[in-house]
Structure 1
Amino acid sequence: MNAYSIVQHLHSGFRYIVLVLFIYTIIAALLGWFGKRPYTNGNRLTNLFAMISAHTQLLIGIALYFLSPLVQFAGSTMKDPVLRYYTVEHQVIMLIALVLITIGHSKSKKALSAEAKHKTIALFYGIALLIIIGALVHGKISVL
């Protein structure tokens, strides 16, 4: 097993941790928002850990990109839909989602009411999760 293979497995496996954290965080935010629940330290930590997991996944993905044998085919990347997805589209889409996550976390910290904090997390993290799932589905279709 080489470094690329190890990092690829780490990136593939860690996505499930990210996914579970985001689903839990979004559900908790929706329940807090619509149930008019207080914003607790547990909510804050869950939001923070979800954001940290997404940033960690980004760092693993960057390492994977530079270890990847796909980087060597930079000249023909845009002509091949599979190469284009893995070397360009995936990174750009995930970076957009990560920016939304970071903005949502920052805005929720600045919000004054519990309802506004829950609503901000639910909306920003929810949109980011939809973008991530859409990108992954698009990637599966591109590979076929």
Structure 2
Amino acid sequence: MYTGFLHLHSGIAYIVLAVLIFSFIYVLLNFLKKRPFTDKLRKASLVGLIAAHLQLLIGLVLYFISPKGVSNFSGEAMGDAMSRLYMLEHPLTMIIGIILITIGYSKAKSGTNDAARYKKLLIYYGLGTLFILIRIPWSVWP
């Protein structure tokens, strides 16, 4: 079960990154062309939000069944950089990134001014995606 979730989490990560980057670029291009904030644009942002939340759900399951996750939490493991990455840094940073994406979507959805809605999506999705990118374990990622 652990191996299956590990492969699922790693495989879907490529899709999630692609969707988040596509959402960001799509919003940016529409903002630069000064187009109105449409329902189509909101749905494109929603796809990024859903993908990130799905990845978070799989990651949380993996965190609790993995020998590198919560069961490895100790003072001794904090001294090892790779153990600390898996048990603390990666999950915490990913959660922060997904929270930022969620806030951005919520603020943009409830906004009234199109330019402000675009800016909220760009700032929050950009920061959220950046947080996600900086804590991916690139050295061991397949």
TM-score by length of 1: 0.89
Retained in 1: the 8 A contact 2:72–2:87? no
C-alpha distance 81-142 of structure 1, shift in aligned 2 (>3 A) = farther
Deviations 1:80-137 (A, max 9, x none): 111110000001111111111111011101211222222211111011111111112x
Retained in 2: the 8 A contact 1:33–1:116? no
Rounded Cα–Cα distance in structure 1 between residues aligned with 2:115 and 2:32:
8
Retained in 2: the 8 A contact 1:97–1:132? yes
Q: Which runs of 5+ in 1 are unaligned?
A: none
TM-score by length of 2: 0.90
Q: Which amino acid aligns with 1:129?
A: T
Retained in 2: the 8 A contact 1:78–1:84? yes
| 1:88 paired residue number | 88
Q: How far 1:73 moved relative to its partner? A: 3.0
Taking only the aligned residue pairs, the percentage that are identical comes to 40
Deviations 1:6-31 (A, max 9, x none): 00000001111111111111111111
Deviations 1:22-52 (A, max 9, x none): 1111111111212101112211111111111
Correspondence 1:3-14 to 2 at 5 A: 3-14=1-12
SS at match of 1:39: coil
Considering Cα pairs closer than 8 Å and 6+ residues apart, tell me whether 1 or 2 has the greater RCO: 1
Correspondence 1:1-144 to 2 at 5 A: 3-70=1-68, 71-75=70-74, 76-136=76-136, 139-140=137-138
Q: Which amino acid aligns with 1:73?
A: N
Rounded Cα–Cα distance in structure 2 between residues aligned with 1:129 and 1:74:
26
Rounded Cα–Cα distance in structure 1 between residues aligned with 2:78 and 2:140:
13
SS at match of 2:37: coil
Q: Which runs of 5+ in 2 are unaligned?
A: none
How many pairs were matched up?
A: 139
Rounded Cα–Cα distance in structure 2 between residues aligned with 1:40 and 1:109:
10
Moved over 4 A (4+): none
